[in-house]
Amino acid sequence: MPRTGRPKSDNPRNIRIVIRFTEEEYKKVKEHAKKESLSVTETIRKGVRSMLESEQ
């Protein structure tokens, strides 16, 4: 019987980090995410990618 479900990723996101924000920082990130129609997680990833790309 064939397997069902999502295929395995070639580059899985299997590293988890915990970060802490002040209420104000979180509010700003959440508002930005809503404005861009992104999740808070994707907003943070996008910011990190942008920072890393600008350093190169």
Q: Confidence band (pLDDT; 50, 70, 90) for 3?
A: confident
**Is 37 within the bounds of a domain?**
yes
**Is 45 within the bounds of a domain?**
yes
**Is 38 within the bounds of a domain?**
yes
Q: Which pLDDT score, from 0 to 100, does residue 35 have? A: 98
Residues 22, 27: Cα–Cα separation, whole Å: 8
Average pLDDT over residues 9-38: 95
Domain total in the chain:
1
Collapsed DSSP state (helix, strand, coil) of residue 50:
helix
Domain holding 33, by residue range, is 23-55
Give tens-digit pLDDT for 17-30.
999 999 999 999 99
Listed residue (37, 43, 44, 36) closest to 17, CA to CA: 44
Q: Within 10 Å of residue 6's Cβ, how many Cβ atoms? A: 5
Instruction: Say what percent of the chain tops pLDDT 70.
Output: 98
**Is 46 within the bounds of a domain?**
yes
Q: Confidence band (pLDDT; 50, 70, 90) for 33?
A: very high
Token output for 13: 């996101």
Q: Evaluate if residue 5 carries a pLDDT over 80.
A: yes
**Is 13 within the bounds of a domain?**
no
